[in-house]
Chain A
């Protein structure tokens, strides 16, 4: 097991000049939140009242191009910056004030099953309602986030919305397991003698960790919203936000609970990455048409539930269990399937992230980031401000289009290599022989190749706003 005397963090962002001060500042988080709140209000306004055409509306462009792109770059280069500045939790703070201390989230729900369900539901709605094509629906989704965060917070003591429900949170938590920053402490000894444990318990002045993580024991970014409440609450100024090897967390055996929910979530996250990209290429429409013929139905919601139920749920769970079974068989090991899945599923995190990164950051963001300029010009014209001139709709790509494919390819290759490396590392920890790794390596490669093939297919985009 782990030694309690972890070395003091090498580089602590909280001690950096200026930025460290800003981060630890009592209202530091609020600044970011208010900024994003302003953006969210603008998106709601344009979503509800603006142009119906998705590429010309702030709500759709910012959500499906900029939000997704920024989040991926932030997670890769820094950490879970979106949750840190999440505007949805602002009214929630108000809810806390109103309700005082609510009940605790029920014990039976203290796992990732609801989060998985909501995540899958979200991806299904995304395909069924063509969310990317509808400013109005996108605005409704944003509104729903505010309401859901507020309601759950009003009724429960901790922050159940972030930890157990929010699909954005789930997405960001899983992705942040390969982020280079993580909360830790400067001195374990200080924590040993600390009486109040304010980082998690909070004090009269400051809230403790909303997702109930205990700073000196944190080994994983899962469930950390990077709110830094812990750093503000600690009376000994002992909390650090330290750089780490991005593969450290997923390479170590003791960082995640060896539970089905957490480990299947990683596999599901990887497969939904492929599924979500598959939703944008011609074969998905051929598959839908074929299924409609076979099943004699025109119900698109049902067909999509079937397609993505298989891709996003059945395949990751089924193939994960099969791989574990094969791994056990080949190595003549008698451990439970759960333990085998828990050993190798975390290795999928880098590849999974790379698939999402290639799609959201590599494709949508790099090809469409500048589109926000004409969209904003158009918006300003529409509300009667003409200082910024006529929109130039030719603006869009951030890089020459010919760079996009190599960029995505590079992301996928790096992700695949990292995942293969992690498989080896995790096997080495328990001296698992190569045969035990084989089924998992095979599954990883199947996933990587599927992602590559989809990337090189021509695109087709359907959907009516």
Chain B
């Protein structure tokens, strides 16, 4: 019995130590990331995503690096990765092609020149 209790305690300790849950993980930068396009993604129509980055004061941020990771909700499916740097008026056009229809989770990370970053997730359903 003692051993069981010990194991449970150990497990709880490990759970407690877990740093983040990675949901809408916040880096140190305070940025607002919006996904402007596509609003209704389609397999055939989309070749890029448009992302808008603003800082805490609402000013457009143009010197960020954008990393996009598009995940299927199915384990083991290859994500689609895309990057862009340098925006204008806070807008970044990132080349992006869907690989199949269905439910996607798009994670957009904006990293500033000093290495701080901010991340935002978007759920999208891609049709034909």
Residues of chain A at the chain B interface (Cβ within 8 Å): 45, 48-57, 60-61, 63-65, 130, 132-133, 282, 364-365, 367-369, 371, 382-384, 393-394, 396-397, 458-465
| CB nearest to B69 among chain A residues | A393
A-B contact pairs, 24 of them (CB 8 A): A51-B21, A51-B22, A51-B23, A53-B73, A54-B73, A55-B71, A55-B73, A55-B79, A56-B22, A133-B73, A133-B103, A367-B78, A368-B76, A368-B78, A382-B18, A382-B19, A382-B20, A384-B19, A394-B78, A458-B101, A461-B72, A461-B100, A462-B73, A464-B103
Chain A positions within 8 Å of B77 at CB level: 55, 367-368, 396, 461
Query: Taking A45-B11, A394-B81, A460-B101 as contacts, is the C-beta distance between A55 and B19 under 8 angstroms?
Result: no
Q: Which residue of A lies closest to B73 (CB)?
A: A133
Q: Is there an interface contact between A397 and B78, defined as CB atoms closer than 8 Å? A: yes
Are B101 and A60 neighbours in the complex by a CB distance under 8 Å? no
Q: Which residues of A contact B11 (CB under 8 A)?
A: 45
Q: Across the interface, do B22 and A461 meet the contact criterion of CB distance under 8 Å?
A: no
**Which residue of chain A has its CB nearest to the CB of B17?**
A383
A368: chain B residues at CB < 8 Å are 75-78
Q: B36-66 interface mask toward A, CB cutoff 8 Å, 1 = contact, 0 = none?
A: 0000000000000000000000000000000
The reply to whether the CB of B2 lies closer than 8 angstroms to some CB of chain A is no
Q: Is A461 in contact with B75, judged by CB distance below 8 angstroms?
A: no
Determine if B76 and A461 form an interchain contact, defined as CB atoms under 8 angstroms apart. Answer: no
Q: Which residues of A contact B81 (CB under 8 A)?
A: 393-394
**How many Å lie between the Cα of A130 and that of B103 in the bound state?**
12
Neighbouring A residues of B69 by C-beta, 8 Å: 393
Do A61 and B75 have beta carbons less than 8 Å apart?
yes
Chain B residues near A50 (CB-CB < 8 A): 18, 21-22
Contacts of A461 in B (CB 8 A): 72-74, 77, 100, 102-103
Residues on B with beta carbons closer than 8 Å to the beta carbon of A382: 18-20, 22
A371 cross-chain contacts in B, Cβ below 8 A: 75-76, 78
| Least distance between B128 CB and chain A CB atoms (Å) | 8
Q: Which chain A residue lies CB-closest to B99?
A: A459
Contacts of A55 in B (CB 8 A): 71-77, 79
B22's nearest neighbour on chain A, judged by CB, is A51
A61 with B76: in contact, given A49-B15, A49-B18, A460-B102 (CB under 8 Å)?
A: yes
- Rounded to whole angstroms, the CA-CA distance of A89 and B6 in the bound complex is 22
Judge if B97 is at the interface, Cβ distance under 8 Å: no
Q: Return the 3 tightest CB-CB contacts between A and B, nearest first.
A: A368-B76, A65-B76, A60-B75
Q: Least Cβ distance of B101 to chain A in Å?
A: 4
Interchain CA distance A395-B17 in the complex, whole Å: 28
User: CB-CB < 8 A to B5: which residues of A?
Assistant: none
| B19 adjacent to A383 (CB under 8 Å) | yes
B14 close to chain A: CB less than 8 A: yes
Residues of B with C-beta under 8 A to A365: 76
- A110 to B114: give the CA distance in the assembly, Å: 68
Q: How far is the CA of A51 from the CA of B25 in the complex (A)?
A: 10
User: Is the beta-carbon distance between A64 and B18 smaller than 8 angstroms?
Assistant: no
The residue on A at minimum CB distance from B104 is A461
**CA–CA, A393 and B79, complex, Å:** 7
| CB nearest neighbor in A for B125 | A462
Q: Is the CB of A463 within 8 A of B71?
A: no
CA of A62 to CA of B101, assembled, Å: 24
* Cα-based distance from A394 to B72 in the complex (angstroms): 13
Residue B105 lies at the interface, judged by CB distance under 8 Å to chain A: yes
CA distance A61 to B76 in the complex (A): 6
Is A65 a contact partner of B14 (Cβ separation < 8 A)? no
Q: Shortest Cβ distance from B126 into chain A, in angstroms? A: 9
Please tell me if the beta carbons of B75 and A45 are within 8 angstroms of each other in the complex.
Answer: no
B14 interface neighbour in A45, A54, A57, A364, Cβ under 8 Å = A45
Instruction: Report the minimum CB–CB distance from A197 to chain B (whole Å).
Output: 37
The smallest C-beta distance from B38 to any residue of chain A, in angstroms, reads 17
CB-based contact B103/A463 at 8 Å: yes
Given A48-B15, A461-B103, also A64-B74 (CB < 8 A): yes
Bound: A463/B100 CA distance, A: 14
- B73 lies within 8 A of A52 (CB): no
A56 contacts B71, CB within 8 Å?
yes
Q: Which of B100, B103, B123 has a CB less than 8 Å from the CB of A458? A: B100
Chain B residue with minimal CB distance to A41? B11
1/0 per position for B87-128, CB-CB distance to A under 8 A?
000000000000011110100000000000000000101001
A61 to B71, CA, bound (A): 13
Q: Which of A51, A53, A364 interacts with B76 by CB under 8 Å?
A: A364
Closest-CB distance, B48 to chain A (whole angstroms): 19
Determine whether the beta carbon of A396 is less than 8 Å from that of B21: no
Contacts of A394 in B (CB 8 A): 78-79, 81
In the bound assembly, the distance between CA atoms of A50 and B21 in angstroms comes to: 6
- List residues of chain A with CB within 8 A of the CB of B71: 53-56
- On chain B, the residues within 8 Å of A61 by CB distance are 75-76
Would A132 and B75 count as touching, CB distance under 8 A?
Answer: yes
Chain B residue with minimal CB distance to A63? B75
- Distance (whole angstroms) from the CB of A142 to the closest CB of chain B: 14
A383 to B13, CA, bound (A): 12
- Note all chain A residues with C-beta closer than 8 A to B14: 45, 49, 383
